[in-house]
Amino acid sequence: MAARAGGGDPKFNTTLRYAIEDAKAYILENIESDLFLDNVANKVMLKPNYFGKLFKEYTGQSLVTFINASKLEHSKTLLLVTERSIAQISERLSISSSAYYIKKFK
């Protein structure tokens, strides 16, 4: 995952930094759920468009990119520690199709 691009920026006061870090923790804790900008922004009580912009400025990557990368990392673990098929893992991680999952995994 990208380093904090805007982490040292004065506009990222403590409250905004906590909101973004809380959102990242929420995503990782709920990685097997459907995750969207609206529900993650709602979790940290920010408007979706504003939160999406802040997340990208702070982390250097979009929320969708962070979610997808996190899902791929989690899927690697599942492939190693379970006997589930790629189709089962992609379904468990709410990835639209195994073909899409395989393409992203490569």
List, for residues 26-52, the tens digit of each pLDDT value: 999 999 999 999 999 999 999 999 999
8 A C-beta contact, residue 44 and residue 22 = yes
Q: Is the pLDDT of residue 5 over 80?
A: no
Q: Is the pLDDT of residue 61 over 90?
A: yes
Residue of higher predicted confidence among 25 and 89: 25
Q: Is the pLDDT of residue 106 over 80?
A: no
- Lowest mean pLDDT of 7-16, 23-32, 52-61, 73-82, name the range: 7-16
Straight-line distance from the first to the last Cα atom of the chain, in angstroms, rounded to the nearest whole number: 17
- What does the alpha-carbon distance between residue 48 and residue 64 come to, in Å, rounded to a whole number? 12
Mean pLDDT of 80-106: 79
Rounded percentage of the chain residues whose pLDDT exceeds 70: 81
